Structure 1
C-alpha cells in the first residue's frame, strides 16, 4: 500500500469470459494484500470463482445463456460484435446499471472493464464515484494509427493501415452504425441527465481520470490518439491457486520421447469449438507428436476417441503457466491472456482466432515473429498439420520465442496497475 492511504473499498465491474474476469481477480488479490476491501461485480456464472479467490461478489447482469446456440452467436467471426452489443449487453443496460449502482453504494472507487461493462461510465457520471477504466487488449483503443484487423474486408484493413485519415473516416462510419446497437444505453444516459455524447464503445469507454492499458508494450505501445489519461501497466496475469499438477498429467508432461503440442481454445472459443480438438489430435498424431488437449467449457463434451491414442492426454482445465513450459509449441485461439502466457513460456505459437480481439492479437504475435496465424476458425486437420510442420522447421521462430519469453517475464502488470489505482485513491 502506498504511504498515506487508508483502507478503501474498490469495486471492479467486468463481464464476459474468464479472460475478462481473471485480470481483475489478479488486481483484486493484490489490492486485498495491500489492505483494501475488494468487490467484483459480474455475472452469476463467475460467482464461485470470485468467492473462491477470497474476494467479495456482487451480481451484475446480464447473465449469459450457457448453451451452444448462445456461444455460437457470441463467437461468430462476423456478427459476434453485433450480437454482444445489440442483443446481449445493450438490452440489459437498465438492470446492469441498477446492479452496479447498488454494488458501489459504499465504494471509494470503481474500476471497470472497457467495452464490456457498459454501465460503469453511467454509474460514475451519475453518482460521482472516482472511476478508472481498464483496457485488456490494444485493439480496444481503435487507434487510427494501427491497422484495424477487426474490419471484415482485408483490403480495407490494409488501406486503413496505410492511411490514418482514411481509417478515421471508416471509424466515423462504424460509430454511426454501431450507435444503433446501443440505443438503450444512449436512452438511459439521456434519462439520467448525462449530457456528454460520447460513444459507449469508443471514447465513452475510457475514464478521464485514468485508463489502465493492461497489455504488454510488445503487443502495442502508446499511439498519438490514445487518451491522455492512459497508464500502460503490462498484462495483469492471474495465477490461480489450483494446487499441484495432477500426478497423471505431470507424468505425461515430463515424457521426453516426442515433442509436445498443447491445443487450447481457452474459455470463450472453447464453447464454440466444433471439430477443433479432434482435428488437432489427428494432425499431431500424423506427425508423431504428443498432444495435450485443454478442453474447457462446452468443449469438454467434444467427441474424441476413447481411449485416446498413445501420446495424447485431455484435461478440462490446466493452469497455463504449469503446462506451457513443457510444450514444443502452443496452438490457441488468440485470447489476450493466453497469448501473453504463451509469450512468457518462450514457445512458438499457432493461433486460430475466432472472433472479437483474437485476430488482432494473433497478427501482433505474427509481427513479433513468434506465431503462425490460421485465419479459418475451422481449419481442419490438413491446415493444422501444415502449420505444425512449418513451426517445427522454423528455428528462427523458436529463437525469437525464447528471447521474448525472457523479456516478458520481467513485466509485472499487476503491481503497476495497482500502484496506478492507489495513486488515485489518495485523492478519493
Structure 2
C-alpha cells in the first residue's frame, strides 16, 4: 500500500513508563509532512502530549483517573491487588474498546501503534482489518519459550542444572497463569463485550506467538545489548530507549557536595516513605553526600522543596533530563525510564527494585555489570551497595551501554517498520 500522507493513530495509557517512550518514538516524525499523527491517551496527560506538538484525544474522558487507579496500588503487588487490577481492567476495557472502535471507524487511519498493556485495542484493530504495531518499552514481558522467564523475581540465565530446572518450571508457571487468567476472566469478558472479537482472538496463534502482541510487528523500545534472552519473536525490532525531548529548565544543586539522585518513579505510593527512610539512614552515615529525593509527582512539581536533613532534599518532581547532568550517582527502583536515563547520561547507579518488572531490569543490569543491585528487604545490602557505589571506579560496561544506546537508529527503524506494515 502507498499513500502520500500516512495517518498514524498512536494509543498509549497515561502512565509515564508507557506514554513517554512512545511520545519520544514519534516525536521525530512530527515535522515530517508524510505523517499525520494523532495520540490517544488518558485525559490527565493530554496537555503534556499537546505541549509537545501532537494532536491528542482523550480516552475515557469521563473517567480521568481510571488508568492511574488500576496501575498505582497502595501496597506491593500480591494476589489480592492483582485480582483487583484484573477485575478493574476488564471493567474498563469494554468502554475503552467501544470508544476506540468508534474512533477508528470515523478517522480511518492507515496504521496504528498500540502499547502492549493496551492489548485489547489491538483486538479492535484486527476486527476492523487495520494494520497495527505493538510498542513495548519492556520487551521481556513477551513470554519466554527457552530462556529465563520474567515477573518471577528477576531470574537470570542458568549456570547449573538446578537453575535450568527452575527456569523451565518458571516458564511453565507463567504460561499456565496466562491461560488461567484468560479462561477465567478475559474469554468470558470478550464473549460479553464483542462476539466478533471473541471468535477472532486466540491467546496463542498457530505459530505459538502470543495473540496480545501484533502479528505485523513489535517495536521494542529497549536495548538488545541489555537483554540475555535470545528467543524473541522474529518480527520484533529493537529501536532503542526513547523519551520526549523538550526544553529543560536550569537545575541548581542545593549544595557543593557530591550528589545522589534518588527516585522510585511516578507510581509505587506505598514505597515513597520507606525510600525516604532509607535515604535518611544513608545520609546520617554519609554527611559528605547530598541526596536529592523525588516523589515523582509531576502534578505537584510547583510545591516547595522540603529540607529533610542538612544533606537530604525532597522534591515533589524533578525532570531527569534537568538533574542528571549535575549529579554524580543515582539510586533508583529499576524502572525503565530512570534506568535508561542514567545510562544515557553515564551515571553509576544502585538499583533497589520494588515491584512489577523492576526485579527483571535489575537482573539484566547486574548480568551486564552495568549497575549495582540491593534488596529493599535488607538494609545491610543497601548500605553495602552504596559504599561500593561510591568506591567503584570501573564502569566500563555501563559506559559501553551508553555508547550503544546513543547509536540506535531509532527513526530509521521506525519508518522501516511502518513501511513494511503498509506494503
Give the TM-score, by structure 1 length.
Answer: 0.83
Q: How does 1:50-65 map to 2 (within 5 A)?
A: 50-61=49-60, 63-65=64-66
Q: Which residue of 1 aligns with 2:143?
A: 142
**Is 2:407 aligned against 1:400?**
no
Partners of 2:36 and 2:110 in 1: how far apart?
Answer: 10
Q: 1:46 to 1:391 in 2, by over 3 A?
A: same
Q: Does 1:266 align with 2:271?
A: no
| TM-fit CA distance, 1:365 | 0.8
Report if aligned partners of 1:234, 1:416 keep a CA contact under 8 Å in 2: no
Check the 8 A contact 1:77/1:354 in 2, yes or no. no
Task: Determine if contact 1:136/1:214 at 8 Å carries over to the other structure.
Answer: yes
Select which of 223, 236, 239 maps to 1:216: 223
**Residue equivalent to 2:236:** 230
Q: Report the number of matched residues.
A: 408
**Counterpart-to-counterpart distance in 1, 2:244 and 2:283:** 30
CA distance in 1, matches of 2:30, 2:43: 22
| Matched ranges for 1:79-118 at <5 A | 81-84=82-85, 86-105=86-105, 106=107, 107-114=109-116, 116-118=117-119
Listed as ranges, the gaps of 5+ residues in structure 1 are none
Asked if the contact 2:262/2:292 (under 8 Å) is kept, the reply is yes
Deviations 1:362-393 (A, max 9, x none): 110111112222332x665x553332112112
Aligned-pair CA distance for 1:43: 1.6
Please name the residue that 1:356 is paired with: 356
Write the deviation string for residues 142-183 of structure 1: whole angstroms up to 9, x where unpaired: 213332241269799998962565454333322222222424
Per-residue CA deviations over 1:384-419 (Å, capped at 9, x if unaligned) read: 3332112112223x3433333233222243443244
Q: Distance in 2 between matches of 1:356 and 1:57?
A: 29
Contact 1:284 1:385 survives alignment (8 Å): no
Contact 2:149–2:171 (CA<8 Å) still a contact in 1? no
CA drift at 1:198: 1.7
1:299-348 per-position Cα deviation (integer Å, ceiling 9, x unaligned): 969xx995443344333333323322332221111111221111122222
Root-mean-square deviation (CA), in Å? Answer: 3.4
Q: 1:120 is matched with which residue?
A: 121
What residue number does 2:164 align with?
A: 162
Alpha-carbon deviation of 1:132?
Answer: 0.8
Verify the 8 A CA contact 2:272 2:295 in the aligned structure 1: no
**One of 419, 424, 428 as aligned partner of 2:421:** 424
Give the match's secondary structure for 2:313: strand
Instruction: Give the Å deviation of 1:14.
Output: 1.3
- Superposition pairs of residues 357-372 of structure 1, within 5 angstroms: 357-372=357-372
Q: What is the alpha-carbon distance in structure 1 between the residues aligned to residue 299 and residue 286 of structure 2?
A: 24
CA deviation digits over 1:129-149, x for unaligned, max 9? Answer: 111112211321121333224
Alignment of 1:25-424 (within 5 A): 25-35=23-33, 36-61=35-60, 63-65=64-66, 71-73=72-74, 76=77, 81-84=82-85, 86-105=86-105, 106=107, 107-114=109-116, 116-151=117-152, 162-163=164-165, 166-179=169-182, 180-187=184-191, 188=193, 190-192=195-197, 194-198=199-203, 203-220=210-227, 223-224=230-231, 226-239=232-245, 241-245=246-250, 249-252=251-254, 257-269=256-268, 272-288=271-287, 289-297=289-297, 307-376=307-376, 383-396=381-394, 398-424=395-421
> Cα offset for 1:251?
4.5
| Contact preservation (8 Å) 1:90, 1:183 | no
Deviation at 1:223, TM superposition (A): 2.6
1:361 deviation in Å?
A: 0.8
Distance 1:266 1:368 in 2: 22
Does 315-324 or 89-98 show the bigger shift?
A: 315-324
